[in-house]
Structure 1
Amino acid sequence: MIGVTGSGGKLGKATVARLRADGHDVMGFDLAGPPGAGFTRVNLTDFGQTLDAFLSVTARHHGLDALVHLAAIPVNGLVPDAATFHNNVTVSFNALFAAHRAGIRTIVLASSITAMGFPFDEAPPALPVDETYTRATNTYGLGKVAEEAMAAQLVTWAHGTSITALRFTNVVAEDEYATFERAEDPGYRRDLLGSWVDARDGARAIALALAAAQPGFEVYNVAAPESGSRIPSRRLAADWFPGTPVADDLGEYESLMSTRKIRERLGFVAAHDWR
């Protein structure tokens, strides 16, 4: 049984669908969701509820083998900035620590491009930006940096624990492709390094991370390997970040948010392309 927090969100719904299609039993946890055996309403800001839900739920499940933690206030601005940080870090601590107490040793955690410089008002050290660069510029991103730091420590508290943090860029649902009408605009997705990922491909990255889980903590960027722009990536890099070093082997339309690590280690290749 795999638990998915934030199962009612854009990425959560795609993840539940993907894992079930792969043959897994899945239990969704969120404040709202479809009635039935595959969902339980949980207030994840309450540690007692979180731990209880992970241990078992009568008529739902008798324990979890793995956890996918996606629940969060998704962006700054929906609530005051401090509330974004307090909610998200509390929810992630509750989920990670409850998993530890419940004996769940395989965890995939949603991190974000906001943990690596978004919206990139200051140039990153090199392009494409890889997982070695960490910088928060708002309270949502600061929360993700804190969550990654917590995970890196908690993973050592029980032998054999695996926690994988996936730094997602802007997740696009299959009915949201109209936004790419702006793909010829030189400023389009500049704050995202031109990056994007289809929700179904984001779910595939989660499935791959679960399948490849090894003891320890690991971070991967998750984006489509090619950008959301019709402008070649080397030209975008020169326009957006003049003077910033660019990889000699950068592909013509390669995302400036690097996906090389997840492609090489987990075999992640996006199946959906806005083009």
Structure 2
Amino acid sequence: MRILLTGSSGWLGRFLAPRLRALGHDVTGLDIAPGTDTDVVGTVADRALIDRLFGERGIEAVIHGGALHKPDIVRYPNQAFIDVNSSGTLNLIEAAVAARASRFVFTSTTSLMISTAIREARGETAVWIDEEMAPLEPRNIYGVTKLAAEQLCRLIHRDHGLPVIVLRTSRFFPEDDDTHHDLSGENMKANELLHRRLTVEDAAEAHVIALERAPKIGFGTFIVSAPTPFARDEVAALKADAPAVIARHFPDAAALYERYGWHLPRSIDRVYDSGLAERVLGFRCATDFAAVLKAMRDGEELPFAHDASYISPKETLAAN
């Protein structure tokens, strides 16, 4: 297929573009920053550019991974988020309809499901998060604009029949967390694979599967995260004493962590349930917390990327 991939210079794009090309697809990479997998430098907010690309390149499918993200809140005004995340999505999906494209995959985020109350861990139990959770009350402009973009995808599918898959990905960024600094980056990423993270390789593969399955599914919204070992009836215990729950599932986790000088989470405030993606989309992340423990046990390289010095290509461009 002739695929338009937005965000091709970003962290996901650098893994997804080569994967798509290896499968024989003709990929046009679009990003505001130059990159190895970027063919066109420009913004999704430029409707004239988008229409021209569809016409000149004969685009048959779209994977829309480009966006402003949560760390960008301190660098860009609210209007920029609306222009890129919401209006940019509308530009792309309307162009896809006009071009009679066969499918559209939208990279969304679990962040839009996190209210201020969840973010501040106010409840007495961990929050079990699946696609049925409502109402959605995004806590910042990033979540608001991504939720608006999801609704635009739903509307266009309803009105025009374009097959659309929305992937609410959990965390897969390589850099350190911009708000939590009490654990090392690798320690924190390992912990998050219990309940709110996936690898970038798994994120890329989820998009490949979504691209294949979109025409059969029609429309679907899926949380994409490493499969959690926990059950819904463990939410109270996870909030009160996470190490005890982890020990039930992984008896040697504490000893392995001690060997690394790491710390297990004392409390877990949310759990992303990716079961629907497994049941309906046919996708399950290859890497989970058990894989981390196996690597620690066997003295092998950890199965996820960590790069404390990573800087988004668009920010590198801005700095120059």
TM-score range, shorter chain: 0.7 to 0.9
What does 1:223-262 align with in structure 2 at a 5 Å threshold?
223-226=225-228, 235-238=237-240, 252=249, 256-262=271-277
| Contact persistence 1:15–1:204 (CA under 8 A) | yes
- Look up the match of 1:5: 6
Name the CA distance, whole Å, in 2 between partners of 1:225 and 1:215. Answer: 22
User: Where does residue 73 of structure 1 map in the other structure?
Assistant: 68
Indicate the residue corresponding to 1:113 in structure 2.
110
Q: Is 24-33 or 3-12 further displaced after alignment?
A: 24-33
**Corresponding position of 2:307:** none
SS at match of 2:67: coil
Q: 1:183 to 1:66 in 2, by over 3 A?
A: closer
Q: Return 5+ residue gaps in structure 2 as ranges.
A: 178-183, 243-247, 251-267, 294-320
Aligned-pair CA distance for 1:118:
5.2
Secondary structure at the aligned position of 1:225 is classed as coil
Equivalent position SS for 1:89 = helix
Q: Which has the larger displacement, 44-53 or 17-26?
A: 17-26
The AA in structure 1 aligned to 2:100 is G
Please tell me whether residue 131 in structure 1 is matched to residue 126 in structure 2.
Answer: no
Give the aligned residue type for 2:212.
A
Aligned letter for 1:131? E
The answer to whether the aligner puts 1:151 opposite 2:153 as a matched pair is: yes
- CA separation of 1:263 and 1:272: change in aligned 2, threshold 3 A: same
CA offsets per residue over residues 156-214 of structure 1, 9 Å max, x none? 2324x1011100111144999x6232479xxx75xx99411111100110111111113
Indicate conservation of the 8 Å contact 1:8/1:33, yes or no. yes
Q: Structure 1 residues 157 and 200, CA, compared in 2 at 3 Å: closer, same or farther? A: same
Does the 8 A contact of 2:114 with 2:137 survive in 1?
Answer: yes
Q: Is the 8 A contact 2:53 2:59 kept in 1?
A: no
Amino acid at match of 1:264: R
- Once the two structures are TM-superposed, the CA of residue 98 in structure 1 deviates from its matched residue by 1.6
- Which structure 2 residues correspond to residues 212-227 of structure 1 after superposition, within 5 A? 212-213=213-214, 214=216, 216-226=218-228
What CA distance in whole angstroms lies between the structure 1 residues aligned with 2:87 and 2:132? 25
Structure 1 alignment gaps of length 5 or more: 241-250
Question: Deviation at 1:69?
Answer: 0.4
Superposition map of 1:14-29 within 5 A:
14-29=15-30
Instruction: Indicate the SS of the match to 1:10.
Output: coil
Q: Secondary structure at the match of 1:7?
A: coil
Q: Which residue of 1 aligns with 2:166?
A: 165
Structure 1: how far apart are the matches of 2:189 and 2:280? 30
CA distance in 2: counterparts of 1:263 and 1:219, whole angstroms: 12
Structure showing greater Rg: 2
Q: Distance in 2 between matches of 1:123 and 1:15?
A: 37
Tell me the residue number matched to 1:180: 186
Taking structure 2 as the reference length, the TM-score comes to 0.68
Which residue in 2 is equivalent to 1:44? 44
**How much is the aligned-residue C-alpha RMSD, in angstroms?**
3.3
Identical aligned pairs, as a percentage? 27
1:115 to partner: Cα distance: 1.7
Deviation at 1:269, TM superposition (A): 2.1
Matched pairs, number: 248
What is the CA distance between 1:82 and its match in structure 2? Answer: 4.3
Higher share in helix = 2
Task: Identify the residue that residue 282 of structure 2 maps to in structure 1.
Answer: 267
Alpha-carbon deviation of 1:239?
5.6
C-alpha separation in 1, matches of 2:175 and 2:284: 17
TM-score (norm 1): 0.78
Query: How far does residue 129 in structure 1 lie from its aligned partner after superposition?
Result: 0.7
Over 3 Å counting, the alpha-carbon distance change for 1:164 and 1:200 in structure 2 is same
Amino acid at match of 1:153: L
